Chains A and B, each alone.
Chain A
Amino acid sequence: MGTPHAYGFWAYLLRDLSLANHRRGEVASPLVFLLMATTFIPLGIGPQSELLSSIAPGIIWVLALLTTLLSVEGLFSRDYHDGSLEQMLISPQILVMPVLGKVTAHWVVTGLPLTLFSPFLGLLLSLPSDGYLPLAVGLALGTGCLSLLASVGAALTVTLQQSALLLTLIVMPLYMPVIIFGSSVAQYGVDGLNWMEPLAALGAMLALMLALCPLAVAGILRLTTIN
């Protein structure tokens, strides 16, 4: 725990996790969506396993992206509407740490289960066996990027009522690099290439976003929530 700033991180991480624990059904629904959407893919394009296995990495990544976007709407707006966001904004510590704590909690609740879930999705879409490890490792890093970028969109739309669609609209173009590198990690694994290269690019993006996104979110929350 250490310094007061680290305390802000842990306090908000644990708070959001225990809140998530109280509404497990709501937390589980993005994953159920992911499972349903994955079952619809073979229904749409046909059950031939060669066809499915060739598109599996890309499809799983696109669905992971949509799942993250669906789950992020309430990240700050729930706190905004019940007033606790204001408490966070006027707290004496630097705002970046609580923000990072909240985003981390969001990742633990959506990104992490999604990563653990992904081999099962690969199974459904007959992903070749070489693809499982790179898919999961890539998703572990990539969902972190997705959560961080989505938090920027969630902060921008925090004061709005029906913000889910708008949030999707403004965040999706920013997801482009993540999905390109993320899906090619899995594709490299399937093709028997060295998948560490795109994974390194993905890790570099995660490091960059880890440094910049919480700063941006803190600034945005201060600007947009002041009436």
Chain B
Amino acid sequence: MNWTWFYRMGSPKWFYQTTSKMLPILLAVTASLLLVGLVWGLGFAPQDAKQGNSFRIIYLHVPASLLALAGYFLMAIAGAIGLIWRMKLSYMVMKCAAPLGAVLTFIALFTGAVWGKPTWGSYWVWDARVTSMLILLFLYLGVLALGSAFQSQDVANKASAILALVGTVNIPIIYKSVDWWFTLHQPSTIKFTEAPSMHPDMFHPLLVMILGFYCFYAVALCLAVRVEILNRERRSQWVRDVIGQADKGNRGVFR
């Protein structure tokens, strides 16, 4: 089998030039999806029978939580690819995915707390899923802290990739044990009154928002990786050319 396409993908220059072409389109798609989803979800979706308007925060909460989790696996897989095939680019993706994932996890926790106050009566509840998300935030922060602690970029890459992988092995165990712990200490005041299915009128805008968040994640990750590429490859000729052109033409990030 011919693997050259795979190795070409590992080249920072190839990535930079390809995303230069794709980013404007992706950005337009992201903006329209998020705009449609937000207006539809916040303005036109019907009110919830029990929670009124406060349920509308799920249009931010659910996509953020989904991506916070998916982002951790993306980070770990990127780290694994870096360890196995020694690709510089995939380490850069891993490094940029960590702060992004941490912020998304924080958004998920924050919107959950804001929603919890009117619904559960308190900002913070030691619910199994809430606790797991908090641990996920800690895992992200650990990867961030370890990545910034080393002088050598190479060692920092490898160490944080391994930590991300160790965390991935642990995520199912953590999730199951927190679940078990929660059923052990079941608080009597809180009950998850989740409807078995969502009404389509509420679900469709959520779907749009989830798609929009995925695109947003891709855009944010690409932008962060591009900056990382320019920073790490600043001594190479093509980066100097790009920067020189940007100085002259000044077309911002897409140049």
Cα–Cα distance between A117 and B248 once the two chains are bound (Å) = 71
Contacts of A170 in B (CB 8 A): 142-143, 145-146, 163
Tell me the residues in window 124-152 of chain A with beta carbons closer than 8 Å to chain B beta carbons. Answer: 152
Contacts of A176 in B (CB 8 A): 135, 174, 177-178
Tell me the residues in window 118-160 of chain B with beta carbons closer than 8 Å to chain A beta carbons. Answer: 135, 138-139, 141-143, 145-146, 149-150, 152, 155, 158-159
Cα–Cα distance between A169 and B149 once the two chains are bound (Å) = 12
The reply to whether B162 and A156 form a contact with Cβ atoms under 8 Å apart is yes
Looking across the interface, which residue of chain A has its beta carbon closest to that of B152?
A227
B198 in the interface, Cβ–Cβ < 8 Å? no
Partner of B149, one of A166, A181, A219: A166
Cα–Cα distance between A163 and B150 once the two chains are bound (Å) = 11
CB distance from B96 to the nearest CB of A (A): 19
The reply to whether A156 and B174 form a contact with Cβ atoms under 8 Å apart is no
Cα–Cα distance between A212 and B146 once the two chains are bound (Å) = 21
B245 in the interface, Cβ–Cβ < 8 Å? no
Known: A159-B155, A181-B177, A224-B155. Is A174-B166 also a contact (CB below 8 A)? yes
CB distance from A169 to the nearest CB of B (A): 5
Cα–Cα distance between A184 and B184 once the two chains are bound (Å) = 9
Known: A166-B145, A166-B149. Is A212-B178 also a contact (CB below 8 A)? no
A53 in the interface, Cβ–Cβ < 8 Å? no
The reply to whether B159 and A156 form a contact with Cβ atoms under 8 Å apart is yes
A180 in the interface, Cβ–Cβ < 8 Å? yes
Contacts of B167 in A (CB 8 A): 173-174
Looking across the interface, which residue of chain A has its beta carbon closest to that of B160?
A156
Annotate A25-54 by CB proximity to B: 1 below 8 A, 0 otherwise.
Answer: 000000000000000000000000000000
Partner of B141, one of A156, A169, A212, A219: A169
Cα–Cα distance between A206 and B173 once the two chains are bound (Å) = 13
Known: A157-B146, A160-B150, A169-B145. Is A223-B181 also a contact (CB below 8 A)? no
Contacts of B163 in A (CB 8 A): 156, 170
**Interface SS of chain B: helix, strand, loop or mixed?**
helix
The reply to whether B159 and A220 form a contact with Cβ atoms under 8 Å apart is yes
CB distance from B55 to the nearest CB of A (A): 30
The reply to whether A174 and B170 form a contact with Cβ atoms under 8 Å apart is yes
Tell me the residues in window 55-79 of chain A with beta carbons closer than 8 Å to chain B beta carbons. Answer: none
Known: A184-B184, A216-B166. Is A224-B158 also a contact (CB below 8 A)? yes
Partner of B138, one of A160, A166, A173, A201: A173
Contacts of A201 in B (CB 8 A): 177
Name the residue among A156, A184, A205 with the largest chain B CB count within 10 angstroms: A156
Tell me the residues in window 165-183 of chain B with beta carbons closer than 8 Å to chain A beta carbons. Answer: 166-167, 169-170, 173-174, 176-178, 180-181
The reply to whether A173 and B178 form a contact with Cβ atoms under 8 Å apart is no
Looking across the interface, which residue of chain A has its beta carbon closest to that of B161?
A223
Looking across the interface, which residue of chain B has its beta carbon closest to that of A212?
B169
Annotate A156-185 by CB proximity to B: 1 below 8 A, 0 otherwise.
Answer: 110110010010011011101100110010
Contacts of B181 in A (CB 8 A): 180, 184
Looking across the interface, which residue of chain A has its beta carbon closest to that of B173?
A177
Partner of B162, one of A169, A174, A180, A216: A216
A-B contact pairs, 14 of them (CB 8 A): A156-B159, A156-B162, A159-B155, A160-B149, A166-B145, A166-B146, A169-B142, A170-B146, A173-B139, A174-B174, A184-B184, A219-B162, A223-B158, A224-B155
- Measured CB to CB, the residues of A under 8 A from B are 152, 156-157, 159-160, 163, 166, 169-170, 172-174, 176-177, 180-181, 184, 201, 205, 212, 216, 219-220, 223-224, 227
Counting from the closest, the 5 A-B pairs by CB-CB distance are: A170-B142, A177-B177, A173-B138, A180-B181, A223-B158
